[in-house]
Amino acid sequence: MKKFTNKYMKWGLTALIVLILAICFVCLIFKGDRIWNGFNTVLRIAMPVIDGLIIAFIATPVLNWIEVKIIYPLCGKAHINVKAMKIKKRIRAGSLLITFLVIGTVIYGFFAIVIPQLITSIQSIITRFPTYINNLISLTEKLLADNPEVEKYIEDMLAAYSKDLDNFLDNNVLPTLNSLIRSASVGMIGVLKALYNFVIGLIISLYILSGKEKFISQAKKICYALFERHTANQVIRACRFANKTFIGFLGGKIVDSAIIGVLCFAGTSLLKMPYPVLISVIVGVTNIIPFFGPYIGAIPSAMLILMTEPKKCIPFIIFILALQQLDGNVIGPKILGESTGLSGFWVIFSITLFGGLWGIAGMVVGVPLFAVFYAGVKYIVNKSLKKKTLSTLTDDYEKLKYISVEKEYIQMEETEMLNNSQAETAQESTGTKNEE
């Protein structure tokens, strides 16, 4: 009777879940705007808590390192009982103080050194901007004078599109100036709100970090209460993997970008490039974005050098290419290692996907986020293959023709693969001719 009841309970629970998912899907289709607006409202209200979680997540490795490498060894040498609850609380309070002092000192030192240089560079660019424009115009005129065909083509193109440009400026650009001014005022309010959220988030992060072990214990307790033991173990293992992936990738990428910024400053200073600090900050910050970051930072920097000192633009591009090769082949692999386990295609795919969804933030977190998803799919696929007593090695399926009843892997011969390839090519050419 008990088995009978459990059987129908599972069926009823499954039917209920399917019904709830169907209702959610219908609501998402017909009332998607309201749901999205409600989600944005909840997100905006919870932003201080989200900021606190992000700050705590970033500060956790520093806090753990200070406690494990500095505080606890010193307490051991002083014969202090670190297992006592009062001593643990004092150690945690001291470690939190040191952690935020270290992080605050690093941030303050960076801004104290870099910000004055950036302000000076930006002021110089604003002051000399007409000169830079004249340099660019004279360079363009010289290039066009040496290439009369290109000059004629550009003149014709400008003549053809000049009216469209005037209409665009009159009808689109000028009417939006008032809205731009309003947007600037709204932006100032947004900055103040972001600062308020950051301060509240900083306070919340202190509470999270002071009791992080208790929060983790409560999460595990809930996990084992909701799921079976085997499933709960898998969920906890997946959370550990996600935490390791995010910490390893983001932390390593920040260190890697800092090294690239310093090397860029050293190189641009030796080559006597204009605005070395500004260019190094642009290159270093954009380097946090995988794959596309170096190009995003190099393009505006090259344009700035082209307007300032055109002769140094080509040497700068060569230097940046050499620096990125050093980063991609030596520095990056040494620091990041196999933190994601993704191939180049999936890295580009994840950056493009999450960058389109969340902008710059998506481009930064897209790779580790997709790495966690990729690992989950890989685990499910391998688990299913193991249940069917099939191989989980990808190489076994590369030249696979079929799997026999005895589960033998029948591989295709090289000649057979070549013939199949030629047959497919012939079919494609025949289809093309038929279409013509």
Asked if residues 305 and 267 have their Cβ atoms less than 8 Å apart, the reply is no
Q: For residue 82, report the phi and psi dihedrals to the nearest 5 degrees.
A: -75, -10
In whole angstroms, what is the distance from residue 246 CA to residue 351 CA?
15
Strand partners, 400: 411
Alpha-carbon gap, residue 22 to 344, rounded angstroms: 37
Could you count the other beta carbons within 10 Å of the beta carbon of residue 181? 10
SS in 3 state form for the chain? CHHHHHHHHHHHHHHHHHHHHHHHHHHHHHCHHHHHHHHHHHHHHCHHHHHHHHHHHHHHHHHHHHHHHHHHHHHHHCCCCCCCHHHHHHHHHHHHHHHHHHHHHHHHHHHHHHHHHHHHHHHHHHHHHHHHHHHHHHHHHHHHHHCHHHHHHHHHHHHHHHHHHHHHHHHHHHHHHHHHHHHHHHHHHHHHHHHHHHHHHHHHHHHHHHCHHHHHHHHHHHHHHHCCHHHHHHHHHHHHHHHHHHHHHHHHHHHHHHHHHHHHHHHHHHCCCCCHHHHHHHHHHHCCCCCCHHHHHHHHHHHHHHHHCHHHHHHHHHHHHHHHHHHHHHHHHHHHCCCCCCCHHHHHHHHHHHHHHHCHHHHHHHHHHHHHHHHHHHHHHHHHHHHCCCCCCHHHHCCEEEECCCCCEEECCHHHHHHHHHHHHHHHHHHHHHHC
The CA distance from 242 to 365, in Å, is: 12
* Rounded CA separation 257/264 (Å): 10
Give the whole-angstrom CA distance, residue 399 versus residue 424: 16
Give residue 436's pLDDT. Answer: 44
Q: Which residues pair with 409 in a beta bridge?
A: 403
Distance CA 199, CA 105 (A): 17
What is the tens place of the pLDDT at every residue in 173-230? Answer: 556 655 655 655 555 677 788 888 889 999 999 999 998 989 999 999 999 998 888 8
pTM: 0.68
Give pLDDT, residue 101: 92
Query: Looking at residue 10, what is its pLDDT?
Result: 64
Q: Would you state the pLDDT for residue 2?
A: 46
| pLDDT tens digits in sequence order for the chain, 436 residues long | 444 455 666 677 777 787 887 877 777 677 667 777 777 788 888 888 988 998 998 899 889 999 988 888 888 888 887 778 888 888 889 999 999 999 889 888 878 877 787 788 777 777 777 777 777 677 776 766 666 776 666 666 656 655 665 666 566 655 665 565 565 555 567 778 888 888 999 999 999 999 898 999 999 999 999 888 888 898 899 899 888 888 888 888 888 888 998 999 999 999 888 888 888 888 988 888 877 787 888 888 888 888 788 888 899 999 999 988 888 788 877 776 666 667 778 888 888 888 888 777 888 888 888 888 888 888 888 888 888 888 888 777 777 777 777 767 677 665 555 555 544 544 444 444 444 4
Q: What is the pLDDT of residue 174?
A: 55
